[in-house]
Chains A and B, each alone.
Chain A
């Protein structure tokens, strides 16, 4: 029990002395409420519990190196160093390939889930309901099992068909996932304890909303990744770039506040970030679209039993001529310009990241203000928790997934074949004839008689 408290937030005892008036430790607050309230049933459900502020987590080595500077500069240096460390780490894992990326996404997802659930526990003082932690992690496992099963079935189709146990798991996948979820649901109902109903329902709701937000989005990221690593790298880079650029522009030119929720954001930062991000993304897209490693869908090669990222790049990633509008023509003296169509898409993606992405950040700021926490956790020194870094990414991941599905790719051919083979034979015949008619109309098939021959 105590180890979970320590993992998310440091001891309350030191903070009690520091911030006695604002952030009370959960123990002292419980006592205050015992005196104040006579209604015994409402005791576990407190009014305005304060989440203890996490203590400083900076590694010793950094602390020593920066001991000379004043605390403000020290904070910036720590943030700067950690920013560079995270960006280098990002490049490293891109280099290492899709499997590593998937694992990193999974780890980030688990950490975000843990951070948010820990906040829930602190808010509702539900440490003494041990079932609840088990159930929350169990639900996380169920939902992940469901999503990974769907992804694995789609992309590793031939591998799955080969192995007998995998085939059965894949055929009845939804049923098995549902049964697992139901078990968790029944355990929840059986675990309801008389005086803590409301608490338990709150934690149930909290867990489900967290799963909805964190887990589904991380699976959308993995789907995007399989489309081609460029669909993973460019969106994430746009959001990071927008963060940094908006901060820089705000720092140098910032004057008009943007929104009451986040008083540090300014309109100048917002607009400057928008333009800078669009330019950055167009350049990044240009650089990346030339490499097959980034552009090709990730496929699993059954013979080699490994991932391969090799293909004929689709027309999105082939240079095309675009006629410049006459204004730009007179300015630059070029009549046409060679662009990748993907760069046009990247403009749409970066605009979204700069205009709508920050709303994810405001949502997280509002959340932190609502529950009076400064940061989600203290995992990254100077920056806060993983959730703090990834709050804008979630909307972006969903947007990219919807964008790809609507504007870029059609259905997945392997999946269509799969479904086709699962149909009854009369239905297959019917589809065969319809397809034949369609292809002949399009001129892709020679006339009827020649096929039968």
Chain B
């Protein structure tokens, strides 16, 4: 029980902060108002402000004043995270998937830990088991769907995998139901409301965190560029908005986050669009980033090799006359992907911050400073990834609507599952369709 509290954040017993009441105080106030064992709805989460900075950095920065020390730590950790990002990109898709999964589990853990503290449900041990069980179920469901799509050939080969894949939805549903029934059976008389709150908390967290992380993985399979460019855009927007706000910031943006300013917002927007544009240009040339991740059944490994699709081939665009006069160029060679990147960066700069405001509002609502204390100077993993979630969903929907059609292997898979008469009729339809298009030789006389 106590180990879970320590894992996420170390609660400080005597907090001097004004609006953070310790557990005992809150308990004292609340027991007056109720006659039941059910805990109050307004407990305050103990602050998780213990310092997690490694010893070596603290020693090296002893001389500096605390404000500068904070900046340097943040700066160093930012560099470390960005290098880490490059590192795992280099290692390839499998590592990326594992990293996404690790981050997802950590984010889930952080949010659930906050939920436990808010509702003081330490003494309901079933609940931790059930939350993790639901996480496993939902992950199993999503990974099964992804794997069945992309590793079709491998799955068909192995007999147990084939069975699991055919009845995948049923098995996932049965697993979820088992968890649901366990929840109902675990309802304890005086703690109904608490348990329902934790149930809902778990489900909303699953909805937000787990579904989005699977969308990230699906984007990744489209081509690593669809993973790298959106994430870089959000990171760049964060940093640029911060810098612009630092140097030019004057007008506050929103009451929720008093540090954000309009100057930072607009400056960040323009610089992110430019940055995204340039990054798209650089990455579109490399096949490693541009090709969909395919699984090679023979060599049993991932292959990233293909004929780049038309959006990653240079095309001529005529400049509008205004720019034509300024620059003296008539046409310019661009990748169509760069046009798409403008849309992605605009979304990342304009709507992405709303994810950050949501997280700020959440932290204010539950009176926590940071989600956890995993990254020194920055807070928890969730603090870094709050803007990414909306972005991941947007990129997924964008790809689905504007870029790719349906997945051909999936269509083939479905075709093979149909009844023979249906297959025959589709075959004939397709035959005449292709013949019309001139792709098949006409019937010989």
Are A and B associated in one complex?
yes
Residues on A lying within 8 angstroms of B by beta carbon are 32-33, 36-39, 41-42, 45-48, 171-172, 174-175, 178, 182, 185-186, 188-190, 192, 194, 197-198, 200-201, 205-206, 208-209, 212, 259-261, 356, 359, 362-363, 366-367, 369-371, 395, 398-399, 402-403, 405-407, 410-411, 413, 416-417, 419-425, 427-432, 434-436, 438-439, 442, 444-445, 451-453
Residue ID in chain B nearest A403 by CB atoms = B170
Distance, CA A398 to CA B439, complexed state (A) = 44
- B408 interface residue (CB < 8 Å to A): yes
Q: Which of A182, A370, A431, A442 contacts B390 (CB 8 A)?
A: A182
Contacts A197-B361, A416-B414 hold; do A47 and B30 have CB atoms under 8 A apart? yes
Chain B residue numbers with a CB within 8 Å of A192 are 256, 357, 361
Chain A residue numbers with a CB within 8 Å of B430 are 420, 428, 431-432, 435
Contact with A along B408-428 (1 / 0, CB 8 A): 101110111111101111110
Q: Which of A189, A369, A371, A416 contacts B426 (CB 8 A)?
A: A416
Contacts A33-B33, A402-B173, A419-B406 hold; do A435 and B411 have CB atoms under 8 A apart? no
Contacts A174-B400, A189-B354, A419-B411 hold; do A370 and B439 have CB atoms under 8 A apart? no
Chain B residue numbers with a CB within 8 Å of A362 are 184, 187
Chain A residue numbers with a CB within 8 Å of B185 are 259
Quote the shortest CB–CB distance from A412 to chain B (angstroms). 9
**18 A-B contacts (beta carbon < 8 Å):** A42-B42, A47-B40, A48-B33, A182-B394, A190-B254, A205-B204, A366-B196, A367-B192, A402-B169, A402-B173, A405-B169, A406-B170, A419-B411, A422-B405, A423-B406, A435-B427, A444-B423, A452-B444
Q: Which of B183, B201, B400, B423 contacts A435 (CB 8 A)?
A: B423
B408–A208 CB distance below 8 A: no
B195–A201 CB distance below 8 A: no
Distance, CA A429 to CA B430, complexed state (A) = 9
If A201-B362, A430-B408 are given as contacts, then 12 extra A-B residue pairs at C-beta distance below 8 Å, sorted by A number, are: A33-B33, A39-B21, A188-B358, A198-B366, A200-B361, A261-B184, A356-B181, A370-B192, A371-B193, A419-B411, A419-B414, A452-B441
A416–B364 CB distance below 8 A: no
B433–A421 CB distance below 8 A: yes
Chain A residue numbers with a CB within 8 Å of B169 are 402, 405-406
Distance, CA A41 to CA B426, complexed state (A) = 65
Closest 3 CB pairs of A and B: A197-B365, A370-B192, A42-B42
Distance, CA A84 to CA B271, complexed state (A) = 68
List residues of B (161-205) whose CB comes within 8 Å of A's CBs: 166-167, 169-170, 173, 177, 180-181, 183-185, 187, 189, 192-193, 195-196, 200-201, 203-204
For the residues of B in contact with A, the DSSP-based class is: helix
Contact with A along B235-262 (1 / 0, CB 8 A): 0000000000000000000111000000
Distance, CA A435 to CA B422, complexed state (A) = 12
A453–B401 CB distance below 8 A: no
Chain B residue numbers with a CB within 8 Å of A46 are 33, 41-42
B42–A45 CB distance below 8 A: yes
A41–B19 CB distance below 8 A: yes
Distance, CA A190 to CA B360, complexed state (A) = 12
Chain B residue numbers with a CB within 8 Å of A423 are 405-406, 408, 411
Contacts A432-B430, A432-B434 hold; do A47 and B33 have CB atoms under 8 A apart? yes
Distance, CA A161 to CA B54, complexed state (A) = 62
Residue ID in chain A nearest B200 by CB atoms = A209
Q: Which of A259, A416, A430, A445 contacts B418 (CB 8 A)?
A: A416
B415–A431 CB distance below 8 A: yes
Residue ID in chain B nearest A449 by CB atoms = B444
Contacts A371-B193, A410-B419, A435-B423 hold; do A208 and B204 have CB atoms under 8 A apart? yes
Distance, CA A119 to CA B184, complexed state (A) = 20
- B158 interface residue (CB < 8 Å to A): no
Contacts A189-B357, A439-B424 hold; do A356 and B177 have CB atoms under 8 A apart? yes
Chain A residue numbers with a CB within 8 Å of B422 are 413
Most buried by B among A171, A362, A435: A435
Quote the shortest CB–CB distance from A219 to chain B (angstroms). 16
Contacts A436-B427, A452-B443 hold; do A198 and B415 have CB atoms under 8 A apart? no
Chain A residue numbers with a CB within 8 Å of B417 are 410-411
Most buried by B among A197, A367, A398, A439: A197
Chain B residue numbers with a CB within 8 Å of A417 are 426, 429
Contacts A174-B400, A261-B184, A366-B192 hold; do A200 and B33 have CB atoms under 8 A apart? no
Quote the shortest CB–CB distance from A411 to chain B (angstroms). 4
Quote the shortest CB–CB distance from A348 to chain B (angstroms). 11
A48–B36 CB distance below 8 A: yes
- B38 interface residue (CB < 8 Å to A): yes
Chain B residue numbers with a CB within 8 Å of A171 are 401
Q: Which of B29, B32, B166, B170 contacts A402 (CB 8 A)?
A: B170
A359–B427 CB distance below 8 A: no
Contacts A48-B36, A452-B444 hold; do A398 and B431 have CB atoms under 8 A apart? no
B437–A182 CB distance below 8 A: no
Residue ID in chain B nearest A369 by CB atoms = B192
